[in-house]
Every structure is written in C-alpha cells, then in structure tokens.
Amino acid sequence: MLCDLHFEGVRKNPFFSFTFFKLVDHTAGAEKVNMQLRPTELLIFGNPKVGTPLMLCSQTAALDLPQK
C-alpha cells in the first residue's frame, strides 16, 4: 500500500527521530467483516523525548499522543 512506501522512506531517514508504534490497516479490518473500504491506513508514531514531558505536565495529553 502507499502508506507502506512512505513509512519505509521515513523510517530509514536519519533526519526523523520518531518511534513508529503501529500501522493499522482499516481496509483489512473491513474485509474481515465482509465489508469494503477504500484503502485506509493509520500510522501511529511519536517521540518519547517530546511526549513524555508533555504528559508529565498534563497527563491528559496522553489522549492525543502518540501522533496519528
């Protein structure tokens, strides 16, 4: 899928210091329940050095982290 190509390109680039937590394929989930969905993927990523201080300041920031 297209997201796979972008994901691999970013993951291999040393400029980015993200941790990639999960790639969710919503299209595959829809197929499991015999439904169709156009290609839809969700990439969950973050940077613990940035996210942890935010959560220490306000733990409810965890609702928005990691980035999606």
Domain range summary for the chain, segments of one domain joined by +: 2-6+20-63
CA 15 to chain centre: 18
Q: What is the pLDDT of residue 57?
A: 86
> Mind listing the pLDDT tens digit for each residue in 10-65?
666 666 677 778 888 999 999 999 999 999 888 888 888 878 888 888 888 777 77
Alpha carbon distances (Å) from 7 to 10, 11, 41? 5, 6, 11
Q: What is the pLDDT of residues 33-47, one digit of tens each?
A: 999 999 988 888 888
